Amino acid sequence: MTDNAQRLLIVEDDPGLTRQLRWAFDDYSPIFAEDRAGAVDQLRRHEPQVVLLDLGLPPAADGITEGMAALDEILALAPMTKVIVVTGNGDESSAMQAIATGAYDFYQKPVDTEIVGLIIQRAFHIWQLEQQNRELRSGVDRPLDGVVAISDNMRQVLRQLEKIAPTNATTLLQGDTGTGKEVLARALHRLSPRANRSFVAINCAAIPEHLLESELFGYEKGAFTGAQKQTPGKVELADGGTLFLDEIGDMAPPLQAKLLRFLQERVIERVGGRREIAVDARVICATHRDLNTLIASGTFREDLYYRIAEITLHIPALKDRPGDAVAIARVLFENASGAHKRALRGLAPDAVAAIEAYEWPGNVRELEHRINRGVILTENNRLSAADLGLSAPAGDGRTPERLNLRQVRDEAEREAVSQSLEHAEGNVSHAARLLGISRPALYDLMRKHRIESHAAQSASS
């Protein structure tokens, strides 16, 4: 059996039906099992892409139907497998329960092999598309990898970032804590001609003032107690690459002067040294603080500000990025599930609704924390709002009807037709001109939406 074979596991305890299915689906690589234990054994051994599972297997000793127990175990072991359940005629409740658990599709007995064959064929096709998508996502080193954005304002930031990246312009990233400033800094580096050199990051707020100078600029042997050997600093280590100074607004004024000299002359001196060292590094700075306010208060140098802010990118808060929270949550969920080896099925509808409704004061960092915690602790096969520590908004958590594209389009169409007739005072020809369509096309829309013009109404009265 080749690695690219289409492997179909058929779990069926009826010998007659098994023979029929063996004959009907011999174009695949069929594997057979009669019960849950056999199904799990075959699943581990052959890793089938599609499973045809009879839910009517004999009940287990604990009273749980063997078919549902087998479904749970299959999805836990191989969550990407497409499971098609077969139920007894009229047993819609079991079918719906199976779909809610994570089954791909269902079919009711008696089995029509032609129809079941079409369902199986579609399942293999979907599995293959999903597999290709996973391979593309994991196998391609995209420069903007790690940056997820579907909102217009964040996509605008990314467009600016792509224009800035090929240059050596010193760039300032401003945004609230947790908005992903370092992720964007790394993306800038990966898109730049310096991508194959070092990206060196230092958090100016995380290191005490008396240590930050030696961390940045290095020190000579004997420069201070404990300086037992010559040590280069972060600036020197970034030579040829990119230096990222996070929380630049927290840098003490004496160090600001030394940083300004480096940005002006591109040379440094180690602590305790007298020799100038030339360093070619692209500098990216970030802060959550308002530097103009710090300049006004005298705690940040205005001349340094103009040096580090040749180009400034403002990173919007997550609450101001419509749609991004859910998109980012899905990526974080996949990463956390893989890291913690949890075979989970995704985000439950109430979790999606809760993520959309929440304000996210901690931005992406808070979202990552909640997703990671939920993946570790959840006892469900899908991450719920409760797993995230969030309250589901009012309603049942199902997809809002307003997201139905056809309904939204029809409502907009009806509104436009009604408004045009109002403006035209019932004159269909005039209303058609307002809409930019022909008169017959407008009549078709009026019939579709059961709208009458005022003129038609008055003529009939």
Is residue 282 classed as helix, strand or coil in its secondary structure?
strand
Range of weakest confidence among 35-49, 217-231, 269-283, 442-456: 442-456
- Domain boundaries 402-460, CATH class: mainly alpha
Quick check: 461 and 455 in contact, CB under 8 A? no
pLDDT tens, residue by residue, 354-397: 999 999 999 999 999 999 999 999 998 889 999 999 987 765 44
Alpha-carbon gap, residue 417 to 414, rounded angstroms: 5
| β-strand partners of 285 | 172, 245
136 pLDDT higher than 80: no
Judge if the upstream peptide bond of residue 110 is cis by omega within 30 degrees of 0. yes
pLDDT at residue 456 in the model: 41
Positions of CATH 1.10.10 in the chain:
402-460
Q: What is the pLDDT of residues 300-315, one digit of tens each?
A: 999 999 999 999 999 9
Helix (H) or strand (E) holding 440: helix 439-449
Q: Where in the chain is the domain with CATH 3.40.50.2300?
A: 7-139
Residues of the chain with CATH 3.40.50.300: 152-316
CB 83 within 8 A of CB 51: yes
Distance of CA 222 to the CA centre of its chain: 50
CA distances from 241 to 17, 163, 201, 276, 373 (A): 66, 18, 11, 19, 35
Q: What is the mean pLDDT of the chain?
A: 86
- Residue range 225-255, pLDDT digits in tens: 888 899 999 999 999 999 999 999 999 999 9
Q: Which long-range contacts (CB under 8 A, 24 or more apart) does 126-131 make?
A: 126/82, 127/49, 127/50, 127/80, 127/81, 127/82, 128/49, 130/80, 131/80
Query: Model confidence at 140, in pLDDT bands (50, 70, 90)?
Result: very low
Whether 206 shows a pLDDT value over 50: the answer reads yes
Residue ranges of alpha helices (H) inside 140-288 are 152-164, 181-191, 209-217, 234-237, 253-265
Average pLDDT over residues 341-352: 86
pLDDT tier for residue 204 given thresholds of 50, 70 and 90: very high
* Residue % of the chain over a pLDDT of 90: 47
- Tokens describing residue 250: 């927290």
**Average pLDDT over every residue of 155-178:** 94
Query: For residue 400, what pLDDT is reported?
Result: 46
- Cα distances (Å, whole numbers) of residue 137 to 134, 140, 145, 151, 375: 5, 6, 9, 21, 21
The two structure tokens encoding residue 303:
């001349």
| Selection from 105-119, 159-173, 320-334 with the highest mean pLDDT | 159-173
Work out the average pLDDT over 201-221: 93
Q: Is CATH 3.40.50.300 correct for 152-316?
A: yes
Task: Look at the domain 7-139 and name its fold.
Answer: Rossmann fold (3.40.50)
What single-letter amino acid sits at 102?
Answer: G
Report the distance separating Cα 427 and Cα 443, nearest Å: 12
Q: What is the pTM of this model?
A: 0.60
Q: Which of 143-147, 159-163, 408-412 has the lowest mean pLDDT?
A: 143-147
pLDDT at 32: 93
CA distances from residue 108 to 85, 92, 249, 371 in whole angstroms, order as listed: 8, 8, 66, 38
Percent of the chain with pLDDT over 70: 89
Q: Which of 76-85, 211-220, 229-238 has the lowest mean pLDDT?
A: 76-85
pLDDT tier for residue 455 given thresholds of 50, 70 and 90: very low
